[in-house]
Structure 1
Amino acid sequence: MIEAFVYPVSAVMKFWHWLLSGVFDVANSPAWVGAVTLLVVTIRAFIAPLTWLSYKTSRLVVIMRPKLAAIEREFGSDTTPEGVKKHEEARRQVHKEHRYNPFAGCFPALLQLPFFLGLYRLLLWMAVPESALGHSLGLLSPDEVTSFQQASFFGVPLPAYVSMTPEQFAHLGTTLDDVRSVALPMLACAVFFTTFNLILSQIRTRSTLEWDNKAARRIYRFVWLIVPLVPLIIGMAGLTGKVPVALLLYWFTGNLWTLAQTAVLWSLLVRVHPLDEDAREHILTSRETRFAQRRGAKEKKRSRRRRRASALLHPTTLPAVRRELAQEKAEEKRLRAEEKAEKKELARQRGAARKEANRRDRAEAAQRRAEKKAQME
């Protein structure tokens, strides 16, 4: 499946190399370096509208939250077919008002991924000599692949990578020191831009985070946990894996584009779709509520620690304190179980009501069709 996307990517790369070398008579090495850079720029520019659509969809979700929350408070506990129908109709009306499509945020990411994989796979095949095996890759002929493998960047062959054996360095006519002098600065830039883009994304996420959504909070915290691992993974891959100079050039160009694109699209987004007062108030209120809950939970833990410590100083009270703490924990567990059961029962009742509402809609539609048919006869 991924190999199929190598063809359109290779067509773009072939075009740029032909334009640079055939039309503008650029030398072999600069032509291939320019082709790789322009290939990344072309693909990213092509999918930029999809990225904008993803940004816009996420922004609309933030803007709609206060209205959707109000609808949830009004109809969320209604278990009648009429109430469920009004609930869904009110949500659809808000979506229609803001021209929101719930699927618009998913498709852009799914459509972008094959192009990224095709781009990465093509450069890896072309840059590592044993991967090409003298065959054509996509729309690139064997001669063009060989020409690419003979190109260099600042005097270092594009297929060269740091972890090659001495025999491989000798075969490409370069040395480890020469490869390091070019690869390490590019790897450092790729690590910096990737990490910075990830941190910037987290800052944007925090500014509009749905604090009362447990799943959203967990994802946000999880991404912060992997932020320190990202530079380690990329650095280890660049130093110990098959990451040729050509792929480092791809990483550098792609992450630089991402940084510039994020700055431009985010600045445009906040102007085209600014948050209204209700949306800002909703974010602030949900954040303060969440922080208050965290402070309460921490204070409860500190209180229990203090009581345990006090009981250790007065051993005669230790059994009573233990029973008291156990009762508190048991009560909290019971309340959580009851809350979970209530939510589950509410979801079951609303599901049954939704089925009944759909059944009534189908029956009414069938009756209208029958009436229309009888009138025609």
Structure 2
Amino acid sequence: MGISVDLETIMLPFQWVVSIVMVGFHEGLSAVGMPAADGWTWTLSIIGLVLVIRAALIPVFLKQLDAQRRMRLLQPDLKKLQDKYKGKTDQLSRQAMAQEQMAMYKKHGTNPFSACLPMLIQVPFFLALFQVLSGISSAARQNEGVGAMSHEQVVQFDQSSIFGAPLSAVLLHGTPPGGNVVSVWVLSILMIVTMTAAQFIVQKMIMARTMSDEAMATPFMRQQKAILYVLPVIFGAGGIVFPIGVLIYWTTTNLWTLAQQFFVDRRATGQAEA
């Protein structure tokens, strides 16, 4: 019980931040003529939340780019380390190699987890959005609000939909009354596939830019590569328990990340050719 209460207390500020941003965009969109109870008004409010969070993460992204640059400069030293332990497959040698590799990362001020940093920072906001949207239906029945959302706004969100799919619908839990079952399945699966593919492509692009083939052959980096590839699968599989509104958030943020990485790679390629 103590652990759950502590987690709830920790997440409460994030829930308020998420709901305040969403309500702010919703009221702004309603003020310019969009229907307050329309699903697209709430969808754009969720996308607005993504834009705010990703804009706030730009300094983190710049640090990530610097870490990637340091990782590329580290490649010759990693190759020497690999040559040093070439052919040594015993446990002590593998441990020694991993320790020297971590010391090398520390010395150069980088680490292979830098690619995951923006995503990890978003996790509390993502969980907060999940908690807010998951509590919508219950709050609507109990005449309550959720975070900064008034009861009226909670009811509006609970009854809103896009393409016939309620924003509060969860693929695993079935479709709420009035919703289109086919729309919920098609929209959910489409977004799950899109967000998983986008995240996988981004991780692959980052690994290709920062690590040479020789460095990727080390046991330590094979483990890191597995982690980077498993994360998108985990989030993809978890999509079946996410409300449509949460899937909109995660799909949008992953597409932002993909576009951002394409821009960086294209700019780096242009500078290299120049």
Same fold, judged at TM 0.5 (above):
yes
> Which of 1, 7, 19 does residue 28 from structure 2 map onto?
19
Q: In structure 1, how many angstroms separate the alpha carbons of the residues matched to 2:147 and 2:214?
A: 43
Per-residue CA deviation, residues 150-207 of structure 1 (Å, 9 max, x unaligned), is 2211222101122235xx632xx12422322332322332232233333333333434
Q: Distance in 2 between matches of 1:18 and 1:11?
A: 10
Maintained 8 Å contact 2:70/2:110: no
- Structure 2 partner of 1:237: 238
Residue in 2 that maps onto 1:260: 259
**Does structure 2 retain, via aligned residues, the 8 Å contact 1:11–1:140?**
yes
- Conserved 8 A contact 1:53-1:105: no
CA RMSD after TM alignment: 3.7
5+ residue gaps, structure 2: 1-9, 81-103
Q: Does 1:198 align with 2:203?
A: yes
Partner of 2:211, secondary structure, is helix
Aligned pairs for 1:67-216 within 5 A? 102=109, 113-130=120-137, 132=139, 134-165=143-174, 169-170=176-177, 173-207=178-212, 210=215, 214-216=219-221
Q: Partners in 2 of 1:238 and 1:68 — Cα distance? A: 37
**1: CA distance, partners of 2:71 / 2:203:** 21
2:101 alignment counterpart: none
- The amino acid across from 1:192 in the alignment is A
Is the 8 Å Cα contact of residues 79 and 215 (structure 2) preserved in structure 1?
no
Aligned to 1:163, what secondary structure does the other structure show?
helix
| Number of the residue aligned with 2:84 | none
**Counterpart position of 1:314:** none
Query: 3-state DSSP class of the match of 1:45?
Result: helix
Aligned AA for 2:70? L
Deviations 1:14-48 (A, max 9, x none): 221111112x1102322111111121122112202
**CA pair 57-260 structure 1, distance change in 2 beyond 3 A:** same
When residues 21 and 104 of structure 1 are mapped into structure 2, their CA distance, relative to the original with a 3 A threshold, is farther
Matched, 1:51 2:85: no
Tell me the distance in 2 between the aligned counterparts of 1:25 and 1:67.
60
Contact 2:15-2:132 within 8 A present in 1 as well:
no
CA deviations on 1:298-324 (whole Å, 9 max, x unpaired) are xxxxxxxxxxxxxxxxxxxxxxxxxxx
Please give the TM-score of this superposition, normalised by the length of structure 1.
Answer: 0.52
Distance verdict in 2 for CA 1:189–1:213, change over 3 Å = closer
What is the SS of the residue equivalent to 2:57? helix
CA distance in 2, matches of 1:251, 1:113: 13
Identical residues among aligned pairs (%): 25
Deviation per CA, 1:235-294: give whole Å up to 9, x if none. 54334xx3221112112211111110111133345667x6xxxxxxxxxxxxxxxxxxxx
CA contact (8 A) 1:9 1:115 kept: no
TM-score (norm 2): 0.68
Mapping for residues 310-329 of structure 1, pairs under 5 Å: none
Which has the greater radius of gyration? 1
Instruction: Kindly provide the CA deviation profile for residues 340-376 of structure 1, in whole angstroms up to 9, marking residues without a partner as x.
Output: xxxxxxxxxxxxxxxxxxxxxxxxxxxxxxxxxxxxx
CA–CA separation in structure 1 for the residues paired with 2:43 and 2:67: 36
Aligned residues: 235
CA separation of 1:110/1:260 partners in 2, compared to 1, >3 Å: closer, same or farther?
closer
SS of the equivalent of 2:34 reads coil
The residue number in structure 2 matching 1:6 is 15
Question: Of the candidates 45, 49, 52, which is equivalent to residue 39 of structure 1?
Answer: 49
Tell me which of 60, 63, 68 is aligned to 2:70: 60
CA distance in 2, matches of 1:111, 1:58: 13
- TM-aligned CA distance change 1:103 to 1:120, over 3 Å: same
Name the SS for the 2:55 alignment partner: helix
Shift in CA distance, 208/56, structure 1 to aligned 2, threshold 3 Å = farther
Amino acid at match of 2:125: G
Q: Which structure 1 residue ranges, 5 or more long, are not aligned?
A: 71-90, 275-377
Q: Distance in 2 between matches of 1:51 and 1:189?
A: 22
Does the 8 Å contact 1:54/1:106 carry over to 2? no
Q: Any conservation in 1 of the 2:171–2:184 contact (CA below 8 Å)?
A: yes
1:220-369 superposed matches below 5 A: 220=225, 222-223=226-227, 226-227=229-230, 230-231=232-233, 233-239=234-240, 242-269=241-268
Please tell me the residue identity of whatever aligns with 2:60.
L
State which drifts further: 206-215 or 28-37: 206-215
- 3-state SS of paired residue (1:125): helix
